[in-house]
Homo-oligomer: A and B are copies of this chain.
Amino acid sequence: MSRKKIVALSGGVGGAKLSAGLAALLPASDLTIIVNTGDDAEHFGLSVAPDIDTQLYTLSGRADLARGWGQKDETWNAMGMLREMGEEVWFNIGDHDLGLNLLRTMRLKRGDRLTDITADFARALGLGMALLPMSDTPVSTLIRCDARDYEFHEWFVQAQGKPTVRDLVFRGAETAPMSPEVSAALRDPDLAAILIAPSNPYLSIAPILAVQGLRAALIAARAPVIGISPVVGGQAIKGPTAAMLSGFGLPVTAAAVAALHADIFDGYILDQRDHLDQTAFQALDIHAIQADTMMVDHPAKEALARVALDFAAQLSKVSA
- A residues near B (Cβ < 8 Å) are 44-46, 74-75, 77-82, 84-87, 94-100, 102-103, 105-106, 109, 120-121, 124-125
Residues of chain B lying within 8 A (CB to CB) of residue A94: 77
Quick one: which of A44, A75, A87, A98 has the most chain B CB within 10 A? A98
Residues from chain B with a CB closer than 8 A to the CB of A78 are 78, 95-96, 98-99, 102
Min Cβ gap A170→B in Å is: 27
What chain B residues lie within 8 Å of A75 (beta carbons)? Answer: 75, 77, 95
Which of B95, B100, B109, B120 contacts A95 (CB under 8 A)? Answer: B95
Determine whether the beta carbon of B86 is less than 8 Å from that of A99. Answer: no
Q: Could you tell me if A124 and B77 are in contact, using CB atoms closer than 8 angstroms?
A: no
In the complex, what residue of chain B is closest to A108 when comparing beta carbons?
B45
Pick from B85, B99, B121, B124: contact of A80, CB under 8 Å: B99
Given A77-B99, A96-B77, A99-B78, A85–B124 Cβ distance below 8 Å? yes
Chain B residues with Cβ below 8 Å from A79 are 99
Q: How far is the CB of A56 from chain B (nearest CB, A)?
A: 10
Q: Kindly report which residue of chain B lies nearest to residue A85, judged by CB atoms.
A: B124
- Please determine whether A44 and B96 come into contact, CB atoms closer than 8 angstroms: no
What residues of chain B lie closer than 8 Å to A85, measured between beta carbons?
99-100, 103, 120-121, 124
Q: Which residue of B lies closest to A89 (CB)?
A: B99
Known: A75-B95, A85-B121, A85-B124. 14 other contacts (CB 8 A): A45-B45, A45-B102, A77-B94, A77-B98, A77-B99, A78-B98, A81-B95, A81-B100, A82-B103, A85-B99, A85-B103, A86-B120, A87-B103, A95-B98
Across the interface, which residues of B come within 8 angstroms of A97, CB to CB?
Answer: 81
Separation of A270 and B252 alpha carbons in the complex (Å): 80
Cross-interface CB contact of A44 among B81, B84, B87, B102, cutoff 8 Å: B102
- Could you tell me the distance between the alpha carbons of A84 and B102 in the complex, rounded to whole angstroms? 13
With a CB–CB cut-off of 8 A, which chain B residues contact A105? 45
Q: A95 contacts B121, CB within 8 Å?
A: no
What's the minimum C-beta distance from A280 to chain B, rounded to whole angstroms? 47
A99:B120 contact, CB within 8 angstroms: no
Which residues of chain B are near A80, meaning CB under 8 Å? 96, 99
Q: How far is the CA of A45 from the CA of B45 in the complex (A)?
A: 9
Does A45 lie within 8 Å of B98, measured CB to CB?
A: no
Residue of B nearest to A87 (CB): B103
Q: How far is the CA of A87 from the CA of B102 in the complex (A)?
A: 11
A124 and B84 in contact (CB under 8 A), knowing A77-B99, A78-B95, A99-B77? yes
26 example contacts (A-B, Cβ-Cβ < 8 A) are as follows A45-B45, A45-B102, A45-B105, A75-B75, A75-B95, A77-B77, A77-B94, A77-B99, A78-B95, A78-B96, A78-B98, A78-B102, A80-B96, A80-B99, A81-B97, A81-B99, A81-B103, A84-B125, A85-B99, A85-B100, A85-B103, A85-B120, A86-B120, A87-B103, A95-B95, A95-B98
